[in-house]
Chains A and B, each alone.
Chain A
Amino acid sequence: MALPQKLVQEFDQLVKKYPDRKSGLIPALHRCQEDLGGWISPQIIEDLAAYFGMEPVEVYGVASFYPMFRLRPVGKHFVSVCHNISCELRGATQIMEHVCKKTGAKPYGTSADGKFTVWPVECQGACANAPMIDVDGVYHEDLTNEKVDAILGGLKK
């Protein structure tokens, strides 16, 4: 299976930003993860390798270096919970427990219904509005358990 035409067209524009087209690899990995199921499958690795003229293992070596790229399937909604210092000082532990309880997922795990993956993450740069979670790429800050309920409850099934 090859990359969808839409992404190929996007990447053809993307690589023009750089004197060396390989510079587009990390942004391209992001776009694949966003559009093609929420994770970087072996197929995506092969397709991107073909697109960039690299060996699959080179692409894998890059993808596996960066914490934002997920190399295993994830739930429909991806919940990152900051557990670095500024958040920990203001109740990140309690938020983590609450998120796990609400979603039925354990840290670094996916809920049985496949709806949620919960991922502890390092500092997200929301320190002055701690604690925080990121749900599907959107920051939610100054959290309380009640706010977490509203955020998670408001997600589409």
Chain B
Amino acid sequence: MKPFQTWLLDRTKNKDSHTLAAYKQAGGYQALETVLKKPMSPADVIQEMKVSELRGRGGAGFPTGMKWSFMPDPAKDPRPRYLAINADESEPGTCKDRVLMEKDPHGLVEGALIACYAIRAQAAYIYVRGEYRKSYDRCQAAIDEARKAGLVGKNILGTDFSCEVHMHKGAGAYICGEETGLMESLEGKRGHPRPKPPFPAMFGLWGQPTTVNNVETIFNVPFIVSRGGAWHAGIGTKASKGNFLCGISGHVNKPGVYELPFGVTAREIVEEVAGGVWKNRKCKAWFPGGSSCSLVKGEDLDVVLDHDALKTKGSSLGTAAMIILDETASIPQVMDVISRFYDHESCGQCSQCREGTQWLSQIFHRIATGQGLPGDVDALDSLAKGMAPGKTICALSDAAAIPTLSAVRLFRAELEECVRLQKDPIPYERVEYAGAH
């Protein structure tokens, strides 16, 4: 792998990296100062973000500068407006935002302030999944420290820019990582996604203009403001600029969260960064970016990681959370776990998803446990095609259908063999227990 510059995780290696003192020592809050005192106009900041070609890191890869520019002109629409930061990291395999929040929370706070300035929001709400207590506590402590230092609240750094940053705790529902589900949840309701349109920029939190961004996306903002959008746009591939946090888990020797430039290949990550597939085994298949991406075969590890290249393998970058399966992994058993997850997490509003996720889970479970019925593999395929794309309010239904379709496409023979033999040749070792949904 060629040498590359890093920035996302650099400060996390410093002593007491979560404190204001350490953050300032490392040059923290200088980007905010530049924005407020140079000064840059909100439009200037949005322009830098557009030039940077930063794409959202929450899974959809939407261009951040463009998203910000959707916020209405305050001269024509004077309503209060908000930034919601999506820290509900729940996609299986994804564990990157947690590292930033636990070890470098001030970076997120500074990014939130600059983003609020750019979209003219009066407050940012950081929606953290309830299980991430340490992330919550570290970010809250960072906000408190920043407030004391005049960096959060009224008249920040003595300017007329005022902005609040609030922490908000979720309670374990994956669907609240969907932006409209997140907003419903933040309003104190069940996390039922809303039909779009209206889009959040017009009708978001409490019905006001809102932008929703992922933690890693916001974390990149101070760097882009300090170093310039062109600097960021000079790194990466045509489709995807900059560095990304890659969480690699499963059957590798050194699972972890690594900062890498777009353009590295999956093989470089597995073999050079993550120490190779464990136990000297081969890679059978892998998820490039969380369990809602299509599976990719182990022989296709030479694909480049970015938003475009993975499409050539029928998959997508998602959250760049690679899950590696070695040659002893059973696809029916892997899919049993994954389809159970989507069944558990469906909010139940749309029948395709409510029923579909349940059926997929039941069918994968019976195939994996040697009780598959003739026609089950075709049923998986036709069910999944009835669930996606774009047939439901949100993309959870797609998230269940996509890996299913890839499993059938790439591993049909293995699934059919389990049905024919009435057992999975790879022993099923999981404890059976009645679900409590």
Binding site for B on A (CB under 8 A): 17-20, 22-27, 29-30, 52, 61-62, 65-69, 80, 83-86, 88-90, 93, 96-97, 100, 106-108, 120-130, 134, 137-139
Nearest-neighbour CB distance to chain A for B274, whole angstroms, equals: 9
Most chain A beta-carbon neighbours within 10 Å: one of B188, B250, B334, B430: B188
Q: Is the CB of B436 within 8 A of A17?
A: no
Docked Cα-Cα span, A127 to B329, in Å, equals 17
Q: Is the CB of B323 within 8 A of A20?
A: no
Docked Cα-Cα span, A35 to B256, in Å, equals 35
Docked Cα-Cα span, A121 to B90, in Å, equals 12
What are the residues of chain A within 8 A of B334 when measuring CB–CB?
A: 85, 88-89
Most chain A beta-carbon neighbours within 10 Å: one of B164, B171, B191, B329: B171
B424 at interface by CB-CB < 8 Å? no
State which of A62, A100, A139 has its C-beta within 8 Å of the C-beta of B189.
A62
State which of B97, B247, B256, B323 has its C-beta within 8 Å of the C-beta of A89.
B323
State which of A97, A108, A123 has its C-beta within 8 Å of the C-beta of B91.
A123
Nearest B residue to A23 via CB reads: B188
Known A61-B190, A66-B172, A127-B321: A120·B433 in contact at CB below 8 Å: yes
Known A123-B90, A127-B95: A26·B341 in contact at CB below 8 Å: no
Q: Is the CB of A125 within 8 A of B94?
A: yes
Docked Cα-Cα span, A130 to B248, in Å, equals 11
Nearest-neighbour CB distance to chain A for B178, whole angstroms, equals: 14
Q: Is the CB of B93 within 8 A of A85?
A: yes
What are the residues of chain B within 8 A of A30 when measuring CB–CB?
A: 130, 169, 171
Q: Is the CB of A125 within 8 A of B131?
A: yes
State which of B90, B95, B436 has its C-beta within 8 Å of the C-beta of A128.
B95
Q: Is the CB of B131 within 8 A of A89?
A: no
* Closest 10 pairs (CB-CB, A-B): A66-B171, A68-B172, A25-B188, A127-B249, A86-B249, A67-B172, A65-B190, A22-B188, A107-B433, A68-B171
Band of interface residues on B:
35 or more
* Chain A contact surface mostly: mixed
What are the residues of chain B within 8 A of A134 when measuring CB–CB?
A: 131
Nearest B residue to A127 via CB reads: B249
Q: Is the CB of B433 within 8 A of A108?
A: yes
Q: Is the CB of A96 within 8 A of B431?
A: yes
Known A22-B188, A23-B188, A123-B91: A86·B129 in contact at CB below 8 Å: no
Nearest-neighbour CB distance to chain A for B83, whole angstroms, equals: 14
Nearest B residue to A21 via CB reads: B188
Nearest A residue to B321 via CB reads: A127
State which of B187, B257, B323, B337 has its C-beta within 8 Å of the C-beta of A22.
B187
Nearest-neighbour CB distance to chain B for A139, whole angstroms, equals: 7
Q: Is the CB of A85 within 8 A of B338?
A: yes
Nearest-neighbour CB distance to chain A for B70, whole angstroms, equals: 21
State which of A68, A107, A108, A120 has its C-beta within 8 Å of the C-beta of B130.
A68
What are the residues of chain B within 8 A of A100 when measuring CB–CB?
A: 431
Q: Is the CB of A137 within 8 A of B206?
A: no
Docked Cα-Cα span, A30 to B129, in Å, equals 12
Nearest-neighbour CB distance to chain A for B428, whole angstroms, equals: 10
What are the residues of chain A within 8 A of B91 when measuring CB–CB?
A: 123
Docked Cα-Cα span, A23 to B347, in Å, equals 19
Knowing that A108-B434, A127-B95 touch, tell me 7 more A-B residue pairs with CB under 8 angstroms. Answer: A26-B171, A26-B185, A85-B337, A90-B255, A127-B94, A127-B323, A128-B255
Docked Cα-Cα span, A18 to B164, in Å, equals 11
What are the residues of chain A within 8 A of B434 when measuring CB–CB?
A: 108
Nearest A residue to B342 via CB reads: A122
Docked Cα-Cα span, A125 to B94, in Å, equals 6
Docked Cα-Cα span, A88 to B291, in Å, equals 13
Known A19-B80, A89-B250, A120-B433: A27·B323 in contact at CB below 8 Å: no
What are the residues of chain A within 8 A of B97 when measuring CB–CB?
A: 125
Docked Cα-Cα span, A144 to B286, in Å, equals 25
What are the residues of chain B within 8 A of A93 when measuring CB–CB?
A: 429-431
Known A25-B188, A93-B431, A129-B255: A88·B171 in contact at CB below 8 Å: no
Q: Is the CB of A65 within 8 A of B173?
A: yes
Docked Cα-Cα span, A127 to B186, in Å, equals 26
B325 at interface by CB-CB < 8 Å? yes
Q: Is the CB of B90 within 8 A of A125?
A: yes
What are the residues of chain B within 8 A of A108 when measuring CB–CB?
A: 433-434, 436
Q: Is the CB of A85 within 8 A of B433?
A: no
Docked Cα-Cα span, A24 to B430, in Å, equals 39
Most chain A beta-carbon neighbours within 10 Å: one of B89, B172, B323, B338: B172
Q: Which of B335-390 contact A (CB under 8 A)?
A: 337-338, 341, 344-345, 347
Known A20-B206, A108-B436, A128-B256: A26·B170 in contact at CB below 8 Å: yes
Docked Cα-Cα span, A29 to B169, in Å, equals 10
Q: Which of B93-149 contact A (CB under 8 A)?
A: 93-95, 97-98, 129-134
A-B contact pairs, 22 of them (CB 8 A): A24-B188, A25-B188, A61-B190, A62-B189, A65-B190, A66-B130, A68-B131, A80-B131, A84-B291, A85-B92, A85-B334, A85-B341, A89-B250, A90-B249, A93-B430, A100-B431, A107-B433, A123-B93, A127-B95, A128-B247, A129-B255, A134-B131
